[in-house]
């Protein structure tokens, strides 16, 4: 028969001062810039939003206000 101190439950483990505060995350592999491929899609989407804004406000005296969404 095992005692509770040999197999602490999650609460006891969290309260133990010897329990590490964080776990080391595994190192990601791949390209240094993982969003490079998705950046092109974002620029295309941004251009589509600008085009839609222009169509929705035409004819207007003020130009469409555009921000780059990051």
Q: Reply yes or no on whether the pLDDT at 3 is more than 70.
A: no
Share of the chain above pLDDT 90, in %: 0
User: How wide is the angle at C-alpha 42 spanned by C-alphas 66 and 44, nearest 5°?
Assistant: 75
What is the domain count for the chain? Answer: 1
pLDDT at 12 over 60: yes
Is 21 inside any structural domain?
no
Q: If pLDDT is split at 50, 70 and 90, which confidence band does 1 have?
A: very low
pLDDT band, very low/low/confident/very high, at 26 (cuts 50, 70, 90):
confident
pTM (whole model) above 0.85: no
Task: Determine, yes or no, domain membership for 41.
Answer: yes
| CA distance linking residue 54 with residue 50, whole number of Å | 6
Range of the domain at 54: 33-70
């Amino acid at each position: 028969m095992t005692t509770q101190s040999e197999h602490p439950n999650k609460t006891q483990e969290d309260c133990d001062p010897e329990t590490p505060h964080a776990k080391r995350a595994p190192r990601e592999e791949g390209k240094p810039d993982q969003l490079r491929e998705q950046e092109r899609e974002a620029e295309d989407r941004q251009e589509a939003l600008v085009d839609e804004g222009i169509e929705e406000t035409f004819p207007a005296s003020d130009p469409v206000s555009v921000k780059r969404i990051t």
